[in-house]
Each structure stands twice: as structure tokens, then as C-alpha cells.
Homo-oligomer: A and B are copies of this chain.
Amino acid sequence: MVKKVVSSLGGLLLLFPAMAFASEPTPTSVLLGVNLLWVMVAAILVILMQGGFILLEAGSTRMKNAGHVAGKTIFTVGLGSLIYWAVGYGIAFGENGNLFIGLGDFFYTPSMTITDDVVPSSLFWVFQCAFAVISLSIAWGGFAERAKLSSYLIFTIVFVGFIYPVVAHWIWGGGFLAEDGAQDFAGSTVVHLSGAMAALAATILLKPRIGKYNKDGSANQILGHNQVFTALAVLLLWVGWFGFNAGSALGVDDGFFGFVAFNTQLGAAAGAVAAMLITWIVLGKADITTMLNGALAGLVAITASCAFVDPWAAVVIGLVAGVFVFFSMKFFEKMKIDDPIFALSVHGAAGVLGTLANGLFATPELVAYNGVGKAGLFYGGGWEQLWVQFLSVVVCGAFVFIVSFIVLAIIKSVMGFRVSEEQEIIGLDLSEHGAYGYPEQMKKGTNLNA
């Protein structure tokens, strides 16, 4: 708001409030301001990633579900934010916590400004809230094209209010895995593996979509309806990931956030290239869906390690993730686990890979810089860090899977988890919302069972 300044007729000199408050800015206070600005920008970028998820999930599914898929993302981001404000943040970062859970700061009210060198916690909350709802959006991959809208509502409350914050507390909030020296810079485990494990629980309980498997057990491809959407989705996610990864430096300071961004770019690039080439070689055709998943797998894998490894290792991690995601997609399909958005492969498999990579590639210099854990196996650190990384994957993965499975099983038995066969066939746009998301195109007579 400009008013107070211009109307005081002080001219341009006073246009910016800065000049008023800055009677005695110090280098330290200004650095704090710079760091806050980066956290703000990073939080905005992570929220922008939801645009990527809208497009990725909508583009990977069928036209009859497009409005539902896109719309529910906005709804659950909204609901998740309120829940994280009321409960989740306090469980992750509440001051009166222990090694297993945080407590306090419910219905969080941040300080208005920086006072006495205390950071305005408002921006830290916005950044963390954005992470929580990203993990939630990953989980929706397992719900796609067949879960009831009401199950989204209930699961948002449980996941953002309890499941995710507990894992965040363990690794980032001073919990027991933090004490063990688990390295997960921006959340390969906390955000991506958690989301994927919830998706796994959901997809197992929901069973495959109608038409996904034939009676002889062979699988059909159910193609998504719009690859322009999925390609643009990957680009938006790639862009937002700079906020996700480099933003996790939580400040500009000595420029380390730039090094993190550098590794992020290499990991993503390597993932896309490796996935494209592996499909070209194995299938004889360069499959676009796999390539796009490769870019995302590279990003997911480098998320844990971006601050701990050298650039050449970032390339290796991305390449491995890109190849790995291809075989993971094949594996889950063979296992009769229907994973429409490939959340299990992109966020689960690559999330595990990325977390373990620290145990191999973490360099002594970067470990010392970050002050967390030990160097990796290839740098003379022995097996210790790899074990810690393995442990954090298993513990967090199991916790999220089990709690999600129980909650969703209760939903399933109490109120129903999956829409009826008829509803699934006509699509969730009509069955859950009463109108098509593409009314003009759908009424022309699409084969609804396509």
C-alpha cells in the first residue's frame, strides 16, 4: 500500500517504507532481509509446483475425470493449508516436542516482524506448509480415477495433520532420525517417499481401475489424455524445484544455495536423458511418458543429495534415476499395482534411490559444511551413513504406509473408498461434481469406457 507515504508528500524519497525503517540497518539485519526474501521466493516456487501437479495428474488421466482431478488439487491444497496451520506445523516443529513428535504452536500465529534478531516465522511456515501439501499431492497419484471425493477430504486431514508432520519432525524437526544424522536436504524421504507410500496404500486398497488388467492378467495401457499438459507439468515442477531444493538452504548467505541449484539442474537433465535413451534402446521407440518421468525421477533423487554431492555425482544420480524409473514402472505394472500417475516409481523408487545416494556420494567437505551425518562409502566414510540413510527410508516408509493403510482401510469399511463401477465408467466429473470438466468435448460421444 503506497498511501501513507505518497500522501505525506515526502516525494519519491519516501515512496519505499524501507527508508523509514532503515534508520539503522546493519549488515546483519539486511542479510536477514535477503534471506527472508529468498525463503519467500522459494515458498512461492514450491506453491507453483501445484500447477505442475494439476497438469501432470490431469494430463495423465482421461478426459472424463479431468475437472475432478484438477479441481480437487485446489481444494486439498486449501484444506491442507488450514490443517497444517491448525495442527500439522505444531506436530512437525512445535517447541515442546520430543524425539518422536513436536507439540505446541497449534493455530499458529507468527510474529509480525523481525524483532530482536528473531526471524519472522511467518515465512518459515509458508515454506513448510507448501512442502506439506506437495507431499499430499503426490499421494493423490494412488487415488486417481476411482476414489470418492469424500476420501480426499478425510485423508487430507489425517495426512497433513499427522502422518506427514511426524516424518518431518523425525528428520527435520529434531526427531530421532535427525539425531542419527540422516541426510535429506530437501525431502527425498520426508516429502517424496512419504507421498508415494500413502499412494501405495491407497492403490492397493482401491485395486486397479476398470480395464487396466485383462482376465489373463496382462495389462492394458490407459493413456493419459494430454501430453502437452504433462510436458508443461514437468517444466513447472522443474522450475519450482529450484525453490524446493535451493530454497531449503533457507538463505542466500555465502552463495551455497547456488551450488544446490547447480546440482538440481544436472540431476533433472540427466534423468530426462537417461529415461529417453533407455526406452529408445529397449522399446525401439522413445516413449515420452517415460522420459518425462525420468526428468522428475532425477529431480526427486537429487532432492536428498543436492547439498551433499559433487556435480559429477549429481549427473550419475540423475542418470541412474532415469533408468531406474523405467524399470520401476514396468515392475509395478507387472505386480498388478495400478499407479496412474506413476507416483510409486517417480516419487517412491527415486526417493529411496536419492536418499541412499547420500550414503555413497556424500563428500567430506559438503558433509562438514552442512554439519549433518558422515561422508559416503565412495569417499571413505564407510557403510555408516548408508546404513543411516537406509534406516530412515525403512522407518519413514513403513510408518507412512502402515498408518495410511489403516486410515484408508477404515475409510473403506465405514464410508466407502471407491466409487461405484457405474460412476467410474461415466467418470468422476459427472459422478462426484455433476458436470464434465470438458463439457463440449465429452458430449460429442466419447467412449466412456476408453
From A201-209, A281-289, A407-415, the one touching the partner chain is A281-289
Is the C-beta of A382 less than 8 angstroms from some C-beta in chain B? Answer: no
Q: How far is the CB of A212 from chain B (nearest CB, A)?
A: 15
Q: Which residues of B contact A107 (CB under 8 A)?
A: 311-312
Q: In this assembly, does A261 line the interface, its C-beta being within 8 Å of a C-beta of chain B?
A: yes
**A18 CB to nearest B CB, Å:** 4
Q: Which 7 residue pairs spanning A and B have beta carbons closest together?
A: A78-B272, A227-B437, A67-B227, A70-B231, A120-B255, A71-B288, A7-B174
Q: How far is the CA of A335 from the CA of B32 in the complex (A)?
A: 53
Give A351-383 as 1s and 0s: 1 = Cβ < 8 Å from B's Cβ atoms: 000000000000001100111100000000000
Contact between B276 and A75 (Cβ–Cβ < 8 Å)? yes
Query: Which residues in chain A, 424-450, are within 8 Å of chain B measured between CB atoms?
Result: 429, 432-441, 443-444, 446, 450
Binds B, one of A40-48, A139-147, A338-346, A397-405: A40-48
Kindly supply a per-residue 1/0 record for chain A positions 308-336, scoring 1 wherever the CB is within 8 Å of any chain B CB and 0 otherwise. Answer: 00111001000000000000000000000
- The distance in angstroms between the C-alpha atoms of A175 and B179, with both chains bound, is 53
Q: How many residues on the A side are at the interface (Cβ–Cβ under 8 A)?
A: 171
Shortest CB-to-CB span from A351 to chain B, Å, is 15
Decide if the interface of chain A is mainly helix, strand, loop or mixed. Answer: helix
The answer to whether A4 touches B372 (Cβ under 8 A) is yes
Q: Which B residues touch A164, using CB under 8 A? A: none
A-B contacts besides A62-B440, A71-B288, 15 pairs, CB < 8 Å: A9-B174, A27-B27, A74-B292, A75-B272, A75-B286, A77-B272, A109-B310, A111-B259, A112-B256, A112-B365, A126-B258, A227-B437, A228-B437, A285-B434, A286-B433
Q: Is there an interface contact between B12 and A44, defined as CB atoms closer than 8 Å?
A: no
In the assembled complex, the CB of A268 is this many whole angstroms from the nearest CB of chain B, namely 7
A17 and B250 contact, CB distance less than 8 A = yes
Asked whether A58 lies within 8 Å of B291 as measured between CB atoms, the reply is no
Nearest residue in B to A272 (C-beta to C-beta)?
Answer: B78
A54 touches B12 (CB 8 A): no
